[in-house]
Amino acid sequence: MRILVVEDEPKAADYLRKGLGESGYLVEVAHNGLDGQFLSQESDFDLIILDVMLPGLDGWQLLRSIRRKSAVPVLFLTARDSVDDRVKGLELGADDYLVKPFSYAELLARVRTLLRRGPPREVELFRVADLQLEVLSRRVTRGGDRITLTNQEFSLLHLLLAREGEVLSRPQIASHVWQMNFDSDTNVVDVAIRRLRAKIDDPYAPKLIHTVRGMGYKLEVAE
Ligand code: CA
């Protein structure tokens, strides 16, 4: 079992590395958010232990970025016993949390429970602002309203959500959604985007699908 520990305080990181190592886990440590992001994308871990207060990319941002691509169990460590922090962490997709300071026995118990839940599944639920897409049931809601999409619209939205924040070119979108090469006529993408917008964006705020002039489209909550 491989565990990634993202913790900037050297003493705490060492303590976790030693303890978990002695308990039989393979442990890798990242000392800041960016290294944590790199390692989490670079290889497969069975569990990520994530300190919330990190330099550079903080634990929340890192958790968001992990959840875009993976359902690996995440246990977050928070310094304050604050309800806001706990709620925020769980809303962002963390599986459990521990308030510092904690005993090693307590940590080990949480780690074992999370690892017993089995291997991570594919991301089944995407959520951006109040828009939600459940992959298996193909259920899409915005602000609690159920939205009916055609198969193509669903594939298009799924793609935009899976690549949240990335600009996708028209040919990229065309090849994903229609599995065809639409280089000659990417107008079909514009039409599909317009239809999708009418359903998931036009009646709501904030707008999530953005046109990036000369490049394509991206889905994100604009800053
Ligand atoms: Ca810290």
Per-residue confidence (pLDDT) for residue 204, from 0 to 100: 95
Residues of the chain with CATH 1.10.10.10: 125-219
Residues of the chain with CATH 3.40.50.2300: 2-116
User: For residue 48, how far is its CA from the centre of ligand 1 (angstroms)?
Assistant: 15
Residue type, 74: V
Q: Mean of the per-residue pLDDT values for the chain?
A: 88
- Collapsing DSSP to helix, strand or coil, 196 comes out as helix
User: For residue 75, how far is its CA from the centre of ligand 1 (angstroms)?
Assistant: 14
User: For residue 116, how far is its CA from the centre of ligand 1 (angstroms)?
Assistant: 27
Crossing angle for the helix pair 59-69 and 33-42, nearest 10 degrees? 10
The CATH fold assigned to 125-219 is Arc Repressor Mutant, subunit A (1.10.10)
Per-residue confidence (pLDDT) for residue 182, from 0 to 100: 56
pTM of the model: 0.56
User: For residue 165, how far is its CA from the centre of ligand 1 (angstroms)?
Assistant: 27
Per-residue confidence at 74, pLDDT binned at 50, 70, 90? very high
pLDDT digits (tens, 9 = 90+) for 124-138: 889 999 999 998 888
* CATH numeric code, 2-116: 3.40.50.2300
User: For residue 51, how far is its CA from the centre of ligand 1 (angstroms)?
Assistant: 6
Element (H, E) at 218: strand 216-219
Q: Are 161 and 128 in contact (CB under 8 A)?
A: yes
